[in-house]
Each structure stands twice: as structure tokens, then as C-alpha cells.
Chains A and B, each alone.
Chain A
Amino acid sequence: DAGVIQSPRHEVTEMGQEVTLRCKPISGHNSLFWYRQTMMRGLELLIYFNNNVPIDDSGMPEDRFSAKMPNASFSTLKIQPSEPRDSAVYFCASSYVAGGEQFFGPGTRLTVL
């Protein structure tokens, strides 16, 4: 298996632009997680899905952030409009079962100018 796949790996955009990050979980995994990592705050959970249903989105910073999981093999995290403080590395992870070991993607490094 190729593991968790994220795209793009790097994104540079200007403030106010819409940003869409993509994730393909490991086939057969039922839970998917979006995390953000910054120097100031470390790793933080943004949202997670179980069987394509959002279970906990309490970590989503504000309405500018939205996440979808239209099917078991694809999820998106969208930021609209983006701001410089959104600059971070965004990780997607998946697990076979809820509460199980999580497998992380390579991350997307987002820079908002």
C-alpha cells in the first residue's frame, strides 16, 4: 500500500485566496484525521471523520476552514479566505478503526503570503 497520500506537498498562496488540501487515506481505513502543526502550537487536531462522517470538528479554528469526506478514499480541507496565520504544515492521518494506530501522510506545507 502507498500509505496516506496528500497533495499538494507544498503550497504558496497569497492572502485572501482559497486553498484546498487533499488526502487519500489507506484503503480499508475507516477513520481519517486532519492535523495542523506550527512552531508555536505544535500538533493540533482539526477534525476527524469516522466512516466518512465528521465526528469532532472542535479543533477547526474558524468558519474559514471546512473539511469534507465525500467517500472512503478522499477528503479535502479547504481554507477560504486564507490568511498568513494559516501558514503551517497540515497532516492527514488514517486508522483502521476508531481509536487505533494512526498512519500519517507526508504533510502539506502551506505558506500564505
Chain B
Amino acid sequence: KNEVEQSPQNLTAQEGEFITINCSYSVGISALHWLQQHPGGGIVSLFMLSSGKKKHGRLIATINIQEKHSSLHITASHPRDSAVYICAVGSGSRLTFGEGTQLTVNP
């Protein structure tokens, strides 16, 4: 069993839909990161959180430390949101990555 499990692996949505990507982990962490990787390959950090909820524009990330679970939500999804979303858990500086969720938003 991987230390970091993401679901779903693939997700296709229509523009405007509300999207949720889930991440479960099995180890103690100091922080959880959500990353976005676009088709061109570049990786961008979206959120780093250790408790509660964070919001940035149409993106919301939540974490439940007791349940070892995090969710990434995208409201009013848009084709430009199409990317791979990667959950990573941090133990100190060391990150362990999930396999990623491939999101495709169709117009």
C-alpha cells in the first residue's frame, strides 16, 4: 500500500462542474501539499496546509489530520484547469508524492 493514495486517478468533467480530488495518507506528516502539473510539464505549488482549510480563487483545500485525509475542490471548473493534480505529504523537508489525478475539463 502506498503511503499516499489519491482518488480518482482520472476525472473528466464538463465546464462549470464542481470537482473534488481526494488524498489519503498513512504516515505522520508535518504538512500536506497540493501541486498542479500542466501538460507542458511544469509543476506549481497550489497549497501547503497542516490544518483546516485554505482557499485561493476557485480552489479550496481541506485537511482532516485525525482521519489523515485531504481534499482539493475546484469550483466552476474551466478547461484551463485541465492538468494533473498531485498530493504530497511532508515529513520535515522530505515529500512523498501520490500518483496524481489527471483532470480533464471539457468545454
Q: What is A's interface to B at a CB cutoff of 8 Å?
A: 31, 33, 42-45, 48, 50, 55-56, 89, 91, 93, 95, 98-104, 106-107, 109
Contact = CB atoms under 8 A, between A and B. Distances in A.
A45 B95 contact: yes
Contacts, number: 50
B31 interface: yes
6 contacts: A33-B95, A43-B88, A45-B94, A45-B96, A91-B43, A102-B45
A55 B41 contact: no
Q: Which secondary structure dominates where chain A touches chain B? A: strand
B3 to A, nearest CB: 12
Contact of B45 (A48, A55, A89, A103): A103
A67 B92 CA distance: 20
A99 B45 contact: no
Nearest to A48: B93
Contact of A101 (B48, B86, B96, B98): B48
Given A43-B88, A107-B43, 18 more contacts: A31-B93, A33-B95, A43-B86, A45-B95, A45-B96, A56-B93, A56-B94, A95-B93, A98-B93, A99-B31, A101-B33, A101-B45, A102-B95, A104-B42, A104-B44, A106-B41, A107-B41, A107-B42
Q: Which interface residue of A43, A50, A100 has the most chain B CB atoms within 10 A?
A: A43
Given A99-B30, A99-B92, A104 B97 contact: no
Contact of A44 (B30, B90, B97): B97
Nearest to A103: B45
Interface in B56-107: 86, 88, 90, 92-100
